[in-house]
Structure 1
Amino acid sequence: MAAASGWIARPMTGFDTETTGVDVDRDRIVTAALVRRSAGPGPAGPSSQVSAWLLDPGIPVPAAATAVHGIDSATAREQGRAPGAAVEEIATALVAALRRGEPLVAYNAAYDLTLLDAELARHGRASLEERLGSPVAPVLDPLVLDRAVDPYRPGKRRLGDLCAHYGISTGSLHSADADVLATLDVLAAIVAAHPELGETDLPALHAMQVDAHRRWAESFNDWRARKGLVGDGATTHWPMRSVQPVAARSAG
């Protein structure tokens, strides 16, 4: 098998969070991980450098969230970092990767990146876009890419579902570092199955995902309306939406 080439063979940085819930405006980060993969698939295999954070979110961790990621309120309170300082470190590392020209890889990026920006606003810190001086890009989202290249495949598309579909062996998901490693492996598998993605330059691939996600979200929201479903639908913004600054609720 020929060694991979193009952007998939160059360094990239993956990002994931585990949180108190799914509301990006109100919930908080409990754990986060950045994984810098120094090379794509090839004879020597990839090399990964992991940075991880445990935060004290400043609010109770609901039992339902603990059941997912294993961190309870006592552990977060006793062992977690002050959230303002921690999200500053996370944002600094993430922006540094983008400034190095590395794509940012995140599964369901619109959730994790928007939540991080909301945390930064909560603690009076500059947003990702303010730090970069430009929109957050390029971002690669295996969820968006998988929907784009295989839109009619039945079944769910959670990270574990895509790992199973693409034959990715995983340990226990739902820790931030394990989820990032799995996300990077899924991205490589999608590109191997659809080589045209690896042949597309990163700015064009980012723009393609913006359009693909918007089309999917509009279609999904239309389906919800036809079913008479209430509540928030899918955001059409990708890889993130803007958040409103809010007063800091805990010292950083």
Structure 2
Amino acid sequence: MQIKKPIVFFDLETTGTDTLNDRIVQIAIIKLAADGTKVEKERLINPTIPIPPEVTKVHGVSDEMVKDAPTFHQVAKSLFEFIRGCDLAGYNHLNFDMPLLIEEFARAGVVFPEPDVQYIDVMKVYYHFHPRTLSAAYQLYCHKELENAHNAMADTQATLEIFESQLATHFDEEPSINEIHNLCFSSRHVDFSRRLARDKEGEIIFAFGKHKGERVRDNRGYAEWMLKGGFPADTKRILQELLQS
């Protein structure tokens, strides 16, 4: 591949998945120069907010590990200088890492990214060449071409065959329906459109908008506004049940 300017591959570990309010705890960068040379940098960051224990279990970074690390504000300018003039690459970074990094730079008073940056999302390249379609899954798991695709019965039969192959391929012991359900449907979300979620105490909260994170029981006005708006039926049903309980 011919490149005219360096490409920075990067990944973030954070305090959570909220790109607006969560913070970086670790950043790793590999700068790939036009001549093929690579420069690697890695740093722990003090997020200035607690790292939830369940998040530490995922990436291994604890409050103790970052207590003496610099804050993002302290490293923002040097970090920006290192990646200035580079294109930016990552895995799913357009959906998560980039939005969160933009917020961190903004809080530090640094305008990021530069207007002429080009992006490489390795996940999107992967999905482009390995489509996440029923036909692709059928070929992968059943080693057959799906005939009459988009016919409802043909698609349903293929779905059942794929599931049977998945059970044989990925599970040493026969799983329960509950195990499969938990794999497919996050216990945190309570409606299919993901407008509602559960907090750590199991209380239903708003998962979007200006009241994101607030408990539905504590903001009946917003819930009533949603009931009058163009929200999905299952979301409204759950809200109605909460307001009546």
Residue number in structure 2 paired with 1:114: 99
Q: Which residue of 1 aligns with 2:192?
A: 228
**Which of 19, 23, 37 does residue 24 from structure 1 map onto?**
19
Q: Which amino acid aligns with 1:231?
A: R
1:146 to 103, 126, 129: 126
The alignment-based identity, stated in percent, is: 24
**CA separation in 2, counterparts of 1:146 and 1:76?**
34
SS in 1 for 2:110: coil
5 Å-filtered alignment, 1:1-252, equals 5-7=1-3, 11-38=6-33, 47-78=37-68, 80-96=69-85, 98=86, 103-110=87-94, 111-123=96-108, 125-129=109-113, 132=114, 134-135=115-116, 137-151=117-131, 152=133, 153-154=136-137, 228-231=192-195
Q: Distance in 1 between matches of 2:11 and 2:43?
A: 11
Note the alpha carbon deviations across 1:60-100, whole angstroms, 9 max, x for none.
Answer: 0111221122110111113x11220223322222224x2xx
After the TM superposition, list the runs of 4 or more consecutive aligned residues in structure 1 that deviate by more than 3 angstroms: none
In 1: Cα distance, 2:110 partner to 2:7 partner: 23
Bigger RCO of structures 1 and 2 (CA < 8 A, at least 6 apart): 1
CA distance in 1, matches of 2:17, 2:7: 26
**What is the distance in 2 between the residues matched to 1:55 and 1:34?**
14
- Inter-partner Cα distance in structure 1 for 2:48 and 2:59: 17
| CA distance in 1 between partners of 2:137 and 2:25 (Å) | 32
Conservation of the 8 A alpha-carbon contact between 2:2 and 2:34: no
Structure (1 or 2) with the greater helix fraction: 1
Q: CA contact under 8 A between 1:32 and 1:54: conserved in structure 2?
A: yes
Contact residue 76 and residue 110 of structure 2 kept, 8 A: no
Q: Flag the structure with larger Rg.
A: 2
CA drift at 1:117 = 1.0
- Output the CA distance in 1 between the equivalents of 2:78 and 2:97: 15
**Structure 1 CA distance for aligned equivalents of residues 137 and 78 of structure 2:** 39
Cα pair distance change 1:141/1:26, threshold 3 Å: same
Letter in 2 for 1:139: Y
CA distance in 2, matches of 1:81, 1:94: 18
Deviations 1:199-251 (A, max 9, x none): xxxxxxxxxxxxxxxxxxxxxxxxxxxx833238xxxxxxxxxxxxxxxxxxx
> In the TM superposition, what is the alpha-carbon distance from 1:26 to its structure 2 partner?
0.6
- 1:20 corresponds to which letter in structure 2? T
Q: TM-score, normalised by structure 1?
A: 0.49
Question: Distance in 2 between the 1:30 and 1:92 partners?
Answer: 20
* Structure 2 unaligned blocks of 5 or more: 139-190, 197-245
